[in-house]
A and B are shown apart, each in its own frame.
Chain A
Amino acid sequence: MRARVGNVAGEVGLLLLALVFLAPLLVGINLALRAPGLTTSYDALTTHPVLSEFTAAWRQAGMGSAILTSLLITGSSVLGVLVFAGLGAYPLARSTARWSKVTFGAFATGLLLPFQLALVPLFETMRSAHLLGTPWSVVIYEIAVNLPAAVFILTGFLRGVPVEYEEAAALDGAGPFGTWWRVLVPLMLPAFGTVAIIVAVIVWNDFLTPLLFLSGAASQTAPLAVYTFAGQLAQNYPLIFASLFIAISPLLIFFVVMQRHVIRGFAGGLKG
């Protein structure tokens, strides 16, 4: 009997803990689902939830095309990071030569550099290359800035993979690229998954880069569209929150579906 009471208390304690962390999001959802024109306090419980703020935000903030742009940018960046870092990790993990250590060290400094400053000279370069205002300016930057962490994770993973697989492939007459593609890439899939999850979350959420490179342009990322929209609204919080929840919904769905993988990916990736 006492054990059962203890169990219930434990479960209730956990539930309260979750509620503390969920409360700010619940405040926002409560407000976003509110019917327009209500005069009650913004914290009053929404008893008759409606989606009118969501449809208004979707239309007025252009969230549909913003989400497509975000998907394009996130997808291209993840693919670019995986290809570049996946290729680079192969010699970095296997070679003990001096250039390999120096290159690895150069990537390591990238983890410490304050990223804001590179943006100004880069801004000029993007402008003269006529990339400013296009999603590709953001993609190029996101690939480059996420390479160090990806190189770290993939190189670390590959060092733990026995070299015998490559030797077997070489005996079968495979060249270096064939070995990479047919032997190493399949072996690296779990680490690729980790990198893809981390990079996707970082790129989807990034706000400063699109703000600098895409301000006023036709293509906006989802967070940037919310920011621009909110700037015109003067604290119309129901509408702001509705657009905010639309912007995070793809990531939210991804997180709910892939919860275990996302948590394990971040835990494993950051640990390495």
Chain B
Amino acid sequence: MSEMVSGGDVVGARLRAASMRRRRRSLVAPAWFVLPAALVFAAVVLWPSVRSLRYAFTDWSGVGPAHSVGLSNFKALGSDPQAKAALEHTVLIAVVFTTLANLLGLGLALAVETRRRLASLVKAVIFLPAVLTPLITAYLWQFILSPDGSLNRLLSDVGLGSLQQPWLGEPGLALWSVLVVLLWQFVGFNMILYVAGLKTVPAELIEAAQLDGAGRLRRLWHVVLPQLAPAITINVFLSAIFGLRVFEQILVLTGGGPGYATQTLSTLVYVRAFQEGQFGYGAAMSMVLTGLVAIAALALYAGLARMRRA
């Protein structure tokens, strides 16, 4: 706009702007531009999803005819101990992952957002696992965490042999091992989002606090954190949704085992629908998961928005 104004007097510019506004109606891009994207998305994602969800009210096995069974799939969910365990694991993973990914992500961001020579290299190294295939977590970490794997061997080499564990084989431990692997692979995402947030904190604010004699921790708590509110919002939001939906990493790392110790709602949907042929039941479970994600997304959105206003 400013370029146009500089050409003539103010009144002339106003007139021209007004005629532009009138013309803008005809300038709006034609709706058909969005048709290819909408059609592809509707045909390949939306419609099959809707078709799939309809099976939640049937006993369909994946092939052959489907018979309507009303709500019995949802009733069965309530009395399926494995579904209950999967729900607990899903919530646990989402809560612990969100908490640690944000604390560690912010800590790492503060560590690499310095003028040190190695900082940008270290930032790239920490982010690297996040752009690698989930198969990395499968093979590398299965090897490292296996009973005679690198971690146990390292423990015995440094004289801590008593701490050796079957990291993925012990039901009580496997879920925490999975969480460590998830953090190793994805905390770099949180870090770079916090780094981007830190860049928006005005240096004058920090200098002013420094002049007022505020120490490092006080500056972080009273000056930097409030400025990071948008970064915290998006980070918490993304990691919670990721945590609730985490799928491939668990499928390839433990396959939900040992037993059902690391099964989450998304992996159990896959097991029931694809491996056991209970497609209708899996579809019902998937509806529950979708509802959970939607509720969490809305609640987080409202909660974080209120926090930012406060």
Contacts and interface: CB of A to CB of B under 8 A. Distances in A.
A151 B37 contact: yes
Contact of A113 (B51, B251, B290): B290
Interface residues of A, number: 91
B275 to A, nearest CB: 12
B195 A267 contact: yes
A244 B41 contact: no
Contact of A267 (B52, B135, B143, B193): B193
B111 A14 contact: yes
- Which of B37, B42, B270, B293 has most A Cβ within 10 Å? B37
A259 to B, nearest CB: 5
A118 interface: yes
A270 B293 contact: no
B140 A121 contact: no
A155 to B, nearest CB: 10
Interface stretch (B20-28, B69-77, B81-89, B208-216): B20-28
A217 B299 CA distance: 44
Nearest to A168: B4
Interface stretch (A49-57, A59-67, A247-255): A247-255
B122 A18 contact: yes
Interface stretch (B6-14, B165-173, B281-289): B281-289
Contacts of A103: 34, 38
A17 interface: yes
B196 A271 contact: yes
Nearest to A30: B150
A193 B224 CA distance: 30
B269 interface: yes
A71 to B, nearest CB: 15
Contact of B46 (A11, A87, A110, A262): A110
A172 interface: no
Interface in B39-58: 40-49, 51-53
A45 interface: no
B46 A116 contact: no
Interface stretch (B92-100, B112-120, B253-261, B302-310): B112-120
Contact of B132 (A109, A125, A251, A270): A251
A91 B45 contact: no
Nearest to A184: B29
Interface in A19-36: 21-22, 24-25, 27-28, 31
A98 to B, nearest CB: 11
A170 B234 contact: no
B1 interface: yes
Question: In the complex, which range does the number of interface residues on chain B fall in?
Answer: 35 or more
Contact of A118 (B3, B49, B127, B144): B49
B199 to A, nearest CB: 9
Given A18-B122, A18-B126, A117-B53, A95 B36 contact: no
A120 B279 contact: yes
Given A14-B111, A14-B118, A107 B139 contact: no
B37 A84 contact: yes
A214 B279 CA distance: 21
Nearest to A80: B40
A209 B87 CA distance: 25
A122 B43 CA distance: 9
Contacts of B234: 270-271
A88 B283 CA distance: 31
A82 to B, nearest CB: 11
Contact of A167 (B23, B184, B231): B23
Contacts of B134: 205, 207
23 contacts: A10-B114, A11-B116, A18-B118, A94-B29, A95-B29, A110-B41, A110-B45, A114-B293, A119-B48, A122-B44, A145-B45, A164-B1, A164-B3, A176-B33, A180-B29, A207-B134, A237-B139, A255-B131, A270-B189, A270-B234, A270-B238, A271-B193, A271-B234
Given A18-B121, A22-B125, A207-B134, 20 more contacts: A7-B116, A10-B114, A10-B116, A14-B111, A14-B118, A21-B128, A27-B144, A91-B34, A95-B28, A103-B38, A116-B266, A120-B273, A121-B48, A144-B45, A147-B37, A162-B1, A167-B23, A170-B23, A223-B133, A237-B139
Interface of A: 7, 10-11, 13-15, 17-18, 21-22, 24-25, 27-28, 31, 41-43, 83-85, 87-88, 90-92, 94-95, 97, 99-100, 103, 106-107, 109-110, 112-122, 125, 140-141, 143-145, 147-148, 151, 162-164, 166-167, 170, 176, 179-180, 201, 204-205, 207-208, 223, 226-227, 230, 237, 240-241, 244, 247-248, 251-252, 255, 259, 262-263, 266-268, 270-271
A-B residue pairs, 7 tightest by C-beta: A144-B44, A88-B37, A118-B48, A121-B48, A117-B52, A88-B34, A91-B29
